[in-house]
Amino acid sequence: MTQSLPFSELSLAPESQRKPISSRGLRFLCRLGQGGMAEVHLANAAPLSAPPSLVVVKRMHQQHVEDPAAVRMFLDEARLALCLSHPNIVRTNRLGMFEGRHGIVMEFLEGQPFHLVLKRAYESEASLSLDFVVQVAIAALDGLHHAHEMKDVLGNPLCLVHRDVSPQNLFVTYDGAVKLLDFGIAKNSMQDGRTRTGLLKGKISYMAPEQARGEDLDRRADLWSLGVVLWEAVTGSRLFKGNNEAATLQLTLSEEISPPSQRRPDLPLELEAILLRALDRDREGRYATAAEMRDDLEAWLSSRDLTQEASLSLVMRRLFAREMREQRQQVQALLQAQPEPAPESGMTLVAPLIGTSATISGSLRGTQVSSVTDLIEELTRQRRVTTRLLGGLVALVACALLFGVYWTLLSRPEQAQRVPAAAPIASELEGQSKNVSAALPAPKSPAIAVASAEPMTNATRDRHPTSAKAVAWAASATMARPSRSPAPASTPDPPPPVPSASAPVDTGLLNLDTTPWSVVTVGGRVLGQTPLIGASLPVGTHTLVLSNAEQGLKTTYQVTISAGKTTARRIGLD
């Protein structure tokens, strides 16, 4: 696993000053960290003359480039990451080649991993708000459920298990977003690079008992791991910690799990029951799905009188005000130190559909593309060129026919009276040209089998369509509209039919009250002034902006809306 983003330890000179790397405008700024498989770089995806667009590149180590097993594992991670599209999972933009090494381009996150959030909270404030912990857990379960429900393009379940849910792989941004990281060792039913028999994957302290015993895993192993994370988050202590990995493994398999209320007496019994159910050593006694556990936590949170401490963004900005300021200053210094661009080296899309080795060939052989969007544009461009060539050919045939008829009329004036008028002839020839165009075979375009990694606004939990299907629909809709061919003077062809609008998004209701009153906006849209009763919102996680101009108060708060349910919240702003 690669390390998180340790900005406080950035002491290396930017790599781009020693050896500039440029690919479609992407320039490396510095190396952030490294693990056994890859190194992590901060990069700028925008040209020097444009506002910066920061991304993170996870690039394979040079020593693994010639190892087929290592390459397969890295590509497994990349293919899976490209298919995962959810607000609570780190977004992967594309897979590319950087000087002969595979690299995964991901979104840049400003924030801290959850283990550092816990460390700072218990060092500076002695504890962390239960409301804060539960909101992080709800978001993580939302992302896990989306991953667990993933299917391939044929509708077959991928049986995905993360296998490394831990505080290091949960990330909380300064804006209050929660992201699940690192599916690098995730197990799914269609992997190319298989895990060797008997090889344990994941952190021993958070490993489910059946995972430690080497048994077949299902989604419930991830729920155990998250249960350990929550137990430690609410108590401020480790659940399984031996003198070495073998001792820790033995504790995981046999140590009695003490109720967290013994360490934190103010822990509500309802919340304790949820945690202990997730930590049942018999997986049959745990929650069957992440959605079930999420719903129980949401029900508990809805019964609370929430205060300002419940705002994830406010807690993060309070705990890490200095780090946030220093990180931004360091990034600004790196951006200002960028050298002049070097000659570009191509990035080639090398991520076929999960579980297949199919690649895009035919008319695209030799064409370099760097993302699904570029691929669709290239296919559309080639279709347009082919259609224009066919249209030009039809126009030339029509003109030749018209010229032939006109020459015949001039050479045989005695038959001019029996020749139909020019307009009917042109109309007839236009109809012939249309028939010729319809008879010519349309160029075939390969099926798009790569999933998009673009962010989804108003994401719907387990109702998300798979990204691969969405991209396939977008590609077919784009390439189904050829350019109209130039034709002789006539009424233009009717425009192609517009694709039908996508299905309506499921909605839920929000009841919200704040002290003092506030104006509530979501995504720039004003919902109204509190108290809000029955405000309709799409299913998913939303960031509310709460402002009171009279008292100069403004804050943000995340809320998760369920289909057909009413979510109630009460928040203190002062």
Q: Is the Cα torsion angle 368, 369, 375, 377 positive or negative in sign? A: negative
Query: What is the reported pLDDT for 24?
Result: 56
Query: What is the reported pLDDT for 572?
Result: 75
Higher pLDDT, 306 or 319: 319
Whether residue 455 is predicted with pLDDT greater than 80 in this model: the reply is no
DSSP string of 492-504? Answer: PPPPPPPPPPPPP
> Rounded to an integer, what distance in angstroms lies between the CA atom of residue 76 and that of residue 541?
28
pLDDT tier for residue 499 given thresholds of 50, 70 and 90: very low
> Rounded to an integer, what distance in angstroms lies between the CA atom of residue 376 and that of residue 371?
9
Query: What is the reported pLDDT for 349?
Result: 33
Query: How do residues 95-129 score in pLDDT, each as one tens digit?
Result: 888 888 999 999 999 999 999 999 999 998 888 88
Residues of the chain with CATH 2.60.40: 507-572
The angle that helices 467-479 and 372-411 make with each other, rounded to 10 degrees, is: 20
If 0-12 CB within 10 Å is exposed, 13-18 middle and 19+ buried, where does residue 495 land? exposed
Query: What is the reported pLDDT for 35?
Result: 79
Q: In the numeric block, which tokens belong to residue 390?
A: 């066919």
Q: Is the Cα torsion angle 335, 339, 341, 346 positive or negative in sign? A: negative
> Rounded to an integer, what distance in angstroms lies between the CA atom of residue 85 and that of residue 573?
33
Q: Which of 399, 356, 319 has the alpha carbon at shortest distance from 127? A: 319
Among all chains, which residue has been given the structure tokens 């995806």?
45
Higher pLDDT, 118 or 440: 118
Q: In the numeric block, which tokens belong to residue 525?
A: 């849209």
Peptide bond into 443 cis (omega under 30): no
Find all residues with CB under 8 Å of 257, minimum gap 6, and list them.
231, 239, 276, 279, 281
Which range has the worst mean pLDDT, 32-46, 69-83, 397-411?
397-411
**CB count in 10 Å sphere of residue 471:** 25
Query: For the stretch 394-407, what's the b/e string if a residue is b when 16 or more beta carbons lie within 10 angstroms of its beta carbon?
Result: bbeebeebeeebee
- The secondary structure of 363-416, three-state, reads HHCCCCCCCHHHHHHHHHHHHHHHHHHHHHHHHHHHHHHHHHHHHHHHHCHHHH
Average pLDDT, the chain: 74
164 in active site: yes
**CB count in 10 Å sphere of residue 58:** 27
Q: In the numeric block, which tokens belong to residue 34?
A: 């490294």
> Rounded to an integer, what distance in angstroms lies between the CA atom of residue 309 and that of residue 315?
6
Which range has the worst mean pLDDT, 32-46, 186-200, 250-264, 389-403?
186-200
- CATH class given for the domain over 507-572: mainly beta
Residues of the chain with CATH 3.30.200.20: 1-108+320-349
Higher pLDDT, 252 or 271: 271
Find all residues with CB under 8 Å of 3, minimum gap 6, and list them.
32, 33, 34, 35, 40
Whether residue 62 is predicted with pLDDT greater than 80 in this model: the reply is yes
Query: What is the reported pLDDT for 382?
Result: 59
Query: How do residues 178-234 score in pLDDT, each as one tens digit?
Result: 999 987 666 655 454 444 434 445 588 899 999 989 889 899 999 999 999 999 999
Residues of the chain with CATH 1.10.510.10: 113-305
Contact 467, 94 (CB under 8 A): no
553 has which bridge partners? 548
Query: What is the reported pLDDT for 448?
Result: 34
**CB count in 10 Å sphere of residue 6:** 12
Q: In the numeric block, which tokens belong to residue 305?
A: 């009188």
538 has which bridge partners? 507
Contact 230, 248 (CB under 8 A): no
> Rounded to an integer, what distance in angstroms lies between the CA atom of residue 42 and that of residue 106?
10
Largest CA distance in the chain: 113
Q: In the numeric block, which tokens belong to residue 398?
A: 């029509």
Higher pLDDT, 493 or 445: 493
Q: Phi then psi for 107, rounded to 5 degrees?
A: -70, 150
Contact 319, 121 (CB under 8 A): yes
Residues in the chain: 574
Residue among 152, 164, 222, 296 flagged as catalytic? 164
Q: In the numeric block, which tokens belong to residue 347?
A: 């990035």
Please report, in angstroms and rounded to a whole number, the separation of the first and last CA atoms in the chain: 41
Query: What is the reported pLDDT for 246?
Result: 87
Whether residue 469 is predicted with pLDDT greater than 60 in this model: the reply is no
Summary count for the chain: helices (H), strands (E): 14, 16
**CB count in 10 Å sphere of residue 462:** 15
Q: Which helix (H) or strand (E) covers residue 106, if one does?
A: strand 101-107
Find all residues with CB under 8 Å of 361, minimum gap 6, and list them.
446
- CATH class given for the domain over 1-108+320-349: alpha beta
27 has which bridge partners? 22, 44
Whether residue 162 is predicted with pLDDT greater than 80 in this model: the reply is yes
- How much is the CA Rg of the chain, to the nearest whole Å? 29
Residue type, 373: T
Among all chains, which residue has been given the structure tokens 């950087």?
98
Among all chains, which residue has been given the structure tokens 């038959």?
415
Query: What is the reported pLDDT for 320?
Result: 95
Query: How do residues 326-370 score in pLDDT, each as one tens digit?
Result: 999 998 888 888 655 444 333 333 333 333 333 333 333 333 333
Query: What is the reported pLDDT for 97?
Result: 86
Higher pLDDT, 392 or 277: 277
Query: In Å, how far from its chain's centre is CA 503?
Result: 21
Instruction: Identify the top-confidence range among 275-289, 475-489, 548-562.
Output: 275-289
Q: In the numeric block, which tokens belong to residue 526?
A: 């004003």
Higher pLDDT, 429 or 43: 43
Peptide bond into 516 cis (omega under 30): yes
Higher pLDDT, 79 or 377: 79
> Rounded to an integer, what distance in angstroms lies between the CA atom of residue 291 and that of residue 148?
10
Contact 26, 44 (CB under 8 A): yes
- pTM for this entry: 0.59
| HSE toward the beta carbon, residue 74, CA cutoff 13 A | 28
Which range has the worst mean pLDDT, 47-51, 55-59, 94-98?
47-51
Q: Which fold has domain 113-305?
A: Transferase(Phosphotransferase); domain 1 (1.10.510)
